[in-house]
């Protein structure tokens, strides 16, 4: 089974352009974690802050381009992993080890094509 682990955190914690000591700390942890995952990690990336986001909305067949993320929320999608796991229990065990520096959430989503 393939799963996406979506990392939601309050991005304000990392500063306006995600630079500085906190981001260095978390990136270091992610690199160590990716190493630990080895072949079970199929992909993944950290994302720049939502002010850099552009959203294309389709409404009644019409596409419009907007500044910012799709929805305003207290926690934003800040990065993701694509992993291979035997089942949900293994995916949960991996997701529990995803490094976080603050309150937040990891959403586990099975991929449409397992």
Partner 1 sequence: MNGSAIERVFRAASGRITAALVARFRDLSLAEDAFSESCVRALSAWQETGVPDDPAAWLYRVASRVAVDMLRRQRTRRQFVPDPPPPDPTAEEVMIDDRHVIPDERLRLIFICCHPAVAPDARAALTLRLICGLTVSEISRAFLIDEATLAQRLVRAKRKIADAAVPFELPAPEYWSERLEAMLSTLEVAYSKAHEDAAGLTRHAGFAAEMLHLSTMLVDLMPDEGEAHALAALLHYAEARRPARTDARGMMVPLSLQDPALWHRELIAAADAFLVQAARLAPESARTLQAKLQACWCTRANLSEPAPWGCVRDVYDQLLRVRDDAIVRLNRVVAVAELDGADVALAELDTLDDKGLAQFGPYHAVRADLLARTGRADEARAEYQVVLALDPPPAERQWLIQRLGELSAKLQ
**Contacting positions for partner 1 (CB under 8 A):** 1, 86-89, 91-93, 108, 110, 114
Q: How far is the CB of 97 from partner 1 (least distance, A)?
A: 13
Q: What gap in Å lies between CA 107 and CA 79, rounded to an integer?
A: 11
Inter-CA distances, 99 with 36, 52, 61, Å: 12, 23, 40
Q: How far is the CB of 16 from partner 1 (least distance, A)?
A: 35
Q: How far is the CB of 34 from partner 1 (least distance, A)?
A: 22
Inter-CA distances, 26 with 50, 54, 61, Å: 18, 25, 41
Nearer to partner 1 (CB atom), residue 26 or residue 91: 91
């Amino acid at each position: 089974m393939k799963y996406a682990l979506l990392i939601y955190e309050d991005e304000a914690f990392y500063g306006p352009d995600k630079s500085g000591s906190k981001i260095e700390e978390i990136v270091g942890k992610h690199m160590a974690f990716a190493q630990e995952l080895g072949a079970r990690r199929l992909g993944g990336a950290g994302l720049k802050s939502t002010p850099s986001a552009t959203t294309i909305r389709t409404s009644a067949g019409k596409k419009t381009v907007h500044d910012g993320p799709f929805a305003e929320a207290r926690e934003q999608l800040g990065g993701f992993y694509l992993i291979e796991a035997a089942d949900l229990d293994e995916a949960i065990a991996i997701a529990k080890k995803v490094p976080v520096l603050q309150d937040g959430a990891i959403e586990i989503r099975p991929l449409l094509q397992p």
